[in-house]
Amino acid sequence: MAIDPDYLTSRQFPTITETYNEKDCMLYALGVGMGQDPLDRNCLPFVYEKSLKVMPSQPVVMAHPGFWAAERDIDLDWVQLLQTEQELIIHQPFPSAGTVEATTRLTEVIDKGERIGALIKSERTIRNVESGADLCTVRTTVLARGDGGFGGERKPTPKTDPIPSREPDKVCDLPTLPQQALIYRLTGDLNPLHSDPEVAASAGFKAPILHGLCTMGVMTHALLKLCADYEPERFRHLRLRFSAPVYPGETIRTEVWQDGKEYRFRCKSVEQDKIVINNGYLLID
């Protein structure tokens, strides 16, 4: 059954209110690989409640509507779903505990043809319930590989942030754990593509793949190290494209090019010798 783009963009999502604490922040940081070296004084503040710091990528899991693509009225082939883009506009740093709320809306559905699929864009702005202040706007694009060809208007792919042709200014290699996806899923993304070998095989993968947002979290660690001296409050704007999946246990290499307070970046799987995140942009204070 073909998806209905008008229905999706008008669909009402409930407002999600979430109370989180220091334990949730530490679990997220562990889920993206922080703390592998428990003696690293730069990483320890993200996984230890003494002067706890919040990862700037953690908003991706806050006040999240859940695995909405599997809901019956949406009727997507969710096994074929892949995230392709992520953007964070950080208005204020997140406190290490509090109550937040957000309402997700689907902003655009783009038909890329039956062979490619459909791009579905969503947005939510996370607010601090107590103060009413906006903390972060989260924009996400997913590719529904099994749901293209519904006859929607074809649109050109928007321009991306180019990667400079010169050698990178900075490079950071960070390993992932074989059980990384099993830890990360405890932050809320229970898609069995990342835990069930049979589901992964049905989607064409040799094993469960790492969540794209977990790869993004590992990348964020690298950007904290290379660009911000492990000071998460300096992050202002982050956007990127996912280009290939990572398997748990692989090493992620982040390459960075600096232009003042702006950075371009990309990530590779060292073992696959393949770019897994591309066209990255970071603005810091």
Query: What residues are annotated to the active site?
Result: 189, 194
Ramachandran sector of residue 24 (left: φ over 0; alpha: ψ -120 to 50; beta: rest) = alpha
How many C-alpha atoms does 49 have within 13 Å on its Cβ side?
5
d(CA 273, CA 278): 14
Structure tokens at 248: 């748990």
Query: DSSP code of 165?
Result: S
Q: Could you count the other beta carbons within 10 Å of the beta carbon of residue 162? A: 10
With contact defined as beta carbons under 8 Å apart, do 241 and 208 qualify? no
Residue 60 CA to chain centroid, in angstroms? 6
Tokens representing residue 45 in the block: 């503040």
Task: Find out whether 232 and 253 touch, Cβ atoms under 8 Å.
Answer: no
Q: Which of 23, 27, 19 is nearest to 214 (CA)?
A: 27
Is 131 in a helix, a strand, or coil?
A: coil
For residue 143, report the phi and psi dihedrals to the nearest 5 degrees: -105, 115
Q: How far apart are CA 268 and CA 173, in angstroms?
A: 9
Q: Provide DSSP, 208-260.
A: PPPPHHHHHHHHHHHHHHHHSTT-GGGEEEEEEEE-S---TT-EEEEEEEEET
Q: How far apart are CA 130 and CA 52, in angstroms?
A: 20
